[in-house]
Amino acid sequence: MGQTFSEFAYSTSLLALPLIVLTVTGSPSQAGFIGFVDAVTMVLAGLPAGAVADRYDRRAVMLWSQAGLVLVFAGASAALWAGAASFGVLVAFAVANGALTALLFTTASAVVPSLVPKEELSGAVAANAARTYAGQLLGTSAGGFLQSLRNALPFALGAVMHAVGLVTLLFLRPRPPVSRERPRGKAGQELWEGVRWIAGQPFLRLGLMYATIANFAYGTVYFIVIASAKQSGMDSGLIGLMAALLGVGGLLGALVSPKLLRLLTGSRPVFVVLWLFGVLTCGIALLPGRFTPGVLLGVAAFAAPTASAYFTTHQLLLTPDSHRGRVMSVSQVAGSSAAAAPLVGGVAYDLAGRAPSLLACAAVLVVTALSAVLSPVMRKPPHGAVGADGEGEKDPESSGLVQT
């Protein structure tokens, strides 16, 4: 439950912060830059966050991260309320928020296998996705609405949500792993261990590449939709409502993802999401209607949790507990690969306009989907799992001998 409140707070700031900058400056590029700062901080903090999650007690790491986020959000709210929040102050908030959120989310992902039995892992991953989308749904709605009332309110509510998340973590009692050794060696070697592990797993390596491309394109589309809606005169509250359709789609998709995983065998969840993203982005670019983009983004979000649960479960089962923090941090970095998406989206929108920019994103997604379908590695996913000794068991396809 704690992650739901954290996701709520993060989604609130993710929408409200660019809207504040856009309202003050009128520049999509500067609004994109503030989103870029937050996301690139999450990328840069990702690998160190994984090393911290593997070296220290994960529950304690999450507690300290939540406490830090309470202070950061409270400070931003106070500065905005007093009218003392310059652009530099907002950039500093984005940096602190991105770094602490990366640490919290990476550690939370790594701790999941210690909370549930192995056979219930995919269901737990799907349930976490449902909670995440619930937080996004409520957070984006609240962010746009509260920002339309007063700039400080989204961050004040974010501080409260992180405080509630902190309290819920006090009741978390993960099971100790069968055997878990703390990372040894130099700090730099620890940081890159997750990268090296995934590099030896062709399925994970290729899947993360597709996730990186899809996240970047989708993040670009999302920002262009928000920026174009704002510049067309749409109220911030309505923009928040439109953006909340993503949360609705994602929440519903997460709830039905266990059933969809039984229907979509092999890597079909990944294939479906990539093709669907490409087709729907074309629709966003070409179809009329003020709320059409939100509806189509919601449809795309409906499919995403199934692919995410499928891939995350493989990733956790193939990785020993001693490496899970660092491996999941690589996944978080891939998920945050949309770091440049707001910046690129803002610049593309300024230079080329709405429709050409969206069609370019659609083309990238279609080419990516075609590549995934034609890949023999993706067509034959591994079936390895982590054994009782905590060491990953490898399939022939995941041994690092298969060339992609």
CATH number of the domain to which 14 belongs? 1.20.1250.20
Q: Is residue 362 part of a domain?
A: yes
- 231: its two tokens: 């510049």
Cα–Cα distance between 306 and 205 in angstroms, integer? Answer: 19
Given a cut of 70, the residues of the chain with pLDDT beneath it are 1-3, 25, 116-117, 119, 122, 133, 136-137, 140-141, 173-191, 335-339, 383-404
Cα–Cα distance between 34 and 86 in angstroms, integer? Answer: 12
Q: Is residue 308 part of a domain?
A: yes
- 377: its two tokens: 């590695």
Nearest to 243 by CA among 147, 156, 336: 147
Cα–Cα distance between 276 and 283 in angstroms, integer? Answer: 11
Nearest to 104 by CA among 46, 37, 171, 170: 46
Please tell me the total count of domains within the chain.
1
Q: What is the pLDDT of residue 387?
A: 35
Gyration radius (Cα) of the chain, Å:
20
Q: What is the pLDDT of residue 343?
A: 78
Q: What is the pLDDT of residue 400?
A: 31
Cα–Cα distance between 210 and 272 in angstroms, integer? Answer: 13
- 386 φ, ψ to 5°? -85, 125
Q: What is the pLDDT of residue 276?
A: 93
Q: Is residue 183 part of a domain?
A: no
At 86, the amino acid letter reads: S
**Other beta carbons less than 10 A from residue 69's beta carbon:** 28
Q: Is residue 180 part of a domain?
A: no
- 291: its two tokens: 């709320």
- CA 106 to each of CA 20, 48, 85, 87, 331: distance values in angstroms, whole numbers, following the listed order: 28, 10, 29, 28, 9
Q: Is residue 403 part of a domain?
A: no
Cα–Cα distance between 343 and 33 in angstroms, integer? Answer: 5
Q: Is residue 28 part of a domain?
A: yes
Q: Is residue 247 part of a domain?
A: yes
Q: What is the pTM of this model?
A: 0.68
- 327: its two tokens: 């491996």
At 212, the amino acid letter reads: T
Q: Is residue 179 part of a domain?
A: no
Q: What domain range is 46 assigned to?
A: 2-171+189-398
Residue that the structure tokens 């890597």 belong to = 267
- CA 155 to each of CA 101, 259, 323: distance values in angstroms, whole numbers, following the listed order: 15, 37, 34
**Other beta carbons less than 10 A from residue 178's beta carbon:** 11
